[in-house]
């Protein structure tokens, strides 16, 4: 298989997952699309070295690094993702209530980037803690702590 075909296959298999993750980090569709394009452009020269078993985690790590680079360059805070608000822990409130949705979005946006990224990977991408640790380049314990803290903060907001 030629390198172009490998890149196309990688894109078909993982582009939507990378997009959802980028959208969760940036909360901006255009920025998420740019992150996806940049991520695949960055991996294109070495696509033949990417192993299928770790491709998704690798691409998500590249996307996160692109986001962080842009965040540092622009000096602005990232926002939460509206599409994953329904994945926030259930606080017993009606999910149809617009005020609850706004509160959940605000709470997601208020999470530190590291906690938000870990929670997105766990909830939206159903990644194991080991994969989260590898993707974010942190220890297994740190991955568990970040997800736990994010959940506690979201539950705390719902209890208020």
Q: What's the topology of domain 1-79?
A: Rna Polymerase Sigma Factor; Chain: A (1.10.1740)
Which pLDDT does position 98 carry in this prediction?
66
Q: What is the DSSP letter of 95?
A: T
- Section 5-27 average pLDDT: 93
Q: Is the pLDDT of residue 66 over 60?
A: yes
Q: Which CATH number fits domain 82-160: 1.20.1630.10, 3.40.50.170, 1.10.1760.20, 1.10.10.10?
A: 1.10.10.10
Share of the chain above pLDDT 90, in %: 49
Q: Take residue 148 and report the two structure tokens written for it.
A: 């736990």
Measured between alpha carbons, how far apart are the two ends of the chain, in Å?
Answer: 56
What is the rounded CA–CA span in Å between residue 62 and residue 38? 9
Q: Take residue 57 and report the two structure tokens written for it.
A: 């985690």
Rounded to the nearest integer, the mean pLDDT of the chain is 82
Domain limits of the chain?
1-79, 82-160
Radius of gyration of the chain (CA): 16
Which pLDDT does position 153 carry in this prediction?
86
What is the rounded CA–CA span in Å between residue 138 and residue 81? 23
Q: Considering only CA atoms, which of 67, 53, 52, 54 is closest in space to residue 20?
A: 67
Q: DSSP letters along 125-150, please?
A: S---HHHHHHHHT--HHHHHHHHHHH
């Amino acid at each position: 298989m030629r390198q172009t075909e490998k890149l196309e296959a990688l894109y078909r298999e993982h582009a939507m997952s990378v997009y959802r993750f980028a959208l969760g980090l940036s909360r901006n569709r255009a920025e998420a699309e740019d992150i996806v394009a940049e991520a695949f452009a960055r991996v294109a020269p070495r696509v033949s070295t990417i192993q299928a078993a770790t491709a998704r985690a690798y691409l998500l790590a590249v996307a996160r690094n692109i986001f962080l680079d842009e965040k540092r360059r622009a000096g602005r805070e990232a926002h939460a993702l509206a599409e994953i608000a329904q994945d926030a822990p259930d606080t017993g409130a009606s999910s149809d209530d617009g005020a609850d949705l706004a509160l959940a979005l605000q709470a997601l946006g208020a999470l530190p980037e590291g906690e938000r990224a870990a929670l997105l990977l766990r909830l939206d991408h159903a990644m194991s803690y080991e994969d989260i640790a590898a993707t974010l380049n942190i220890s297994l314990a740190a991955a568990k702590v970040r997800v736990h803290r994010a959940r506690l903060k979201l539950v705390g907001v719902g209890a208020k």
